[in-house]
């Protein structure tokens, strides 16, 4: 205690000096900071053995948000990831080294697959469009279907996993991906308010909300029904049922997401650094997969949008649904079954 040895530095690889200390010196105190907060979730990179006052200071740092957001926003960090590549970025910026040879998903599959939401120009002036890397033709949001999927975690702040909300999309060419992400260790009830805020912000193009079916039926259905009445916001919820033969999270991620990624159909917004983090570490034991899992549930809902100026099949179904009477109380049936869509909306929305 009188002559402590203090080691300060960034990670340089999976088997560097920092890794050796974490692995072979279990009594060593480790303060591991990432560009987006303290490392308190991931294995071998997490903080440990800290004094109470340091733990209190670490707890005040925003989890999952840039710790110097005025200079390094999520979008800027996404550009750094693209320029440096995953190996250097996750070492030098995240202090969570990634070994490309130890992962199942290859970064090359999404290396040039960025998508940016921006204001249109020329014939699309005054409208929002998506710009896909490598494609000179932008896509108006009217030709994009958006989906919000939620993977709730039981246990709140004591849970191993995080509550993850993902805003994903599919355009008229079958290109899909992630536009926005939210992942925090918190009570699922708190995440409900975030979900409603995202629905309100994106409802012009949002085609549905997906929630893991078991937790939805057990806990969230009644709560969502009450919140819809309180906030007077339309929400179409589909409980996502996980097939028994795909109950292992890794299995369904490989089948549901890996197919899109390997085919070059999976895109990501530069600000979605949690997605890239989990993607580049997929296959590392005990690494979190919360954002990936929420995105994978979106594949159960994705449908091609109509071409610019054309009406898609999904839009035709929605037009027919507008004629539906939601009953005297003004609310539809909130439980249509694990495999069916659940429609919840106030009359006259």
| pLDDT above 70 (res 39) | no
Mean pLDDT, residues 13-35 taken together: 76
| pLDDT class of 45 with cuts at 50, 70, 90 | low
Q: Which SS3 state, helix, strand or coil, does residue 259 take?
A: helix
- For 214, the 3-state DSSP assignment is helix
Query: Has residue 313 got a pLDDT over 90?
Result: no
Count the Cβ atoms, other than its own, within 10 Å of residue 263: 10
Tokens for 119, please give them: 């204001």
The torsion defined by the Cα of 289, 292, 294 and 299, in degrees rounded to 10, comes to -140
User: Residues 87-110, buried b or exposed e (16+ Cβ, 10 A)?
Assistant: bbbbbebbbbbbbeeebebebebb
Give the torsion through C-alpha atoms of 58, 64, 65, 66, to 10 deg: 80
Q: What is the pLDDT of residue 127?
A: 92
- Is residue 290 within 8 Å of residue 160, measured between CB atoms? no
Q: Which residue has the higher pLDDT, 186 or 320?
A: 186
Residue 42 has pLDDT above 70, yes or no: no
Question: What pLDDT shows up at residue 81?
Answer: 76
- DSSP class of residue 20 equals H
8 Å CB contact between 121 and 137: no
Tens of pLDDT, residues 139-161: 999 999 999 998 887 655 545 67
């Amino acid at each position: 205690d009188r002559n402590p040895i203090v080691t300060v530095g960034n990670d340089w690889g999976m088997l560097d000096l920092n890794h050796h200390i974490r692995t072979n010196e279990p009594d060593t105190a480790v303060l591991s900071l990432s560009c987006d907060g303290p490392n308190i979730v991931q294995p071998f990179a997490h903080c440990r053995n800290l004094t109470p006052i340091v733990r209190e200071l670490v707890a005040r740092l925003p989890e999952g948000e840039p710790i110097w957001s005025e200079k390094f926003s999520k979008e800027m960090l996404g550009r750094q990831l693209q320029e440096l590549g995953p190996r250097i970025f996750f070492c030098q910026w995240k202090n969570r080294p990634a070994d490309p040879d130890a992962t199942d998903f290859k970064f090359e599959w999404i290396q040039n697959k960025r998508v940016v939401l921006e204001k249109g120009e020329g014939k699309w002036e005054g409208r929002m469009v998506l710009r896909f890397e490598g494609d000179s033709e932008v896509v108006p949001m009217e030709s994009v279907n958006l989906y919000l999927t939620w993977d709730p975690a039981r246990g709140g702040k004591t849970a191993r996993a995080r509550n993850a909300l993902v805003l994903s999309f599919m355009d008229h060419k079958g290109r899909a991906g992630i536009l926005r992400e939210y992942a925090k260790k918190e009570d699922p009830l708190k995440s409900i308010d975030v979900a409603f805020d995202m629905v309100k912000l994106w409802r012009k193009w949002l085609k549905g909300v997906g929630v893991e079916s078991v937790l939805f039926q057990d806990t969230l259905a009644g709560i969502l029904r009450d919140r819809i009445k309180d906030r007077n916001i339309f929400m179409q919820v589909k409980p996502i049922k996980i097939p028994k033969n795909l109950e292992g999270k890794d299995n369904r991620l490989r089948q549901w997401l890996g197919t899109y990624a390997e085919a070059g159909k999976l895109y990501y917004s530069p600000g979605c650094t949690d997605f890239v983090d989990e993607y580049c570490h997929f296959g590392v034991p005990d690494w979190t997969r919360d954002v990936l899992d929420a995105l994978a549930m979106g594949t159960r809902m994705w449908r091609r949008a109509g071409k610019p100026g054309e009406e898609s099949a999904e839009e035709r179904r929605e037009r027919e649904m507008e004629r539906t009477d939601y009953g005297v109380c003004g609310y539809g049936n909130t439980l249509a079954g694990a495999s069916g869509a659940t429609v919840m909306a106030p009359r006259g929305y």
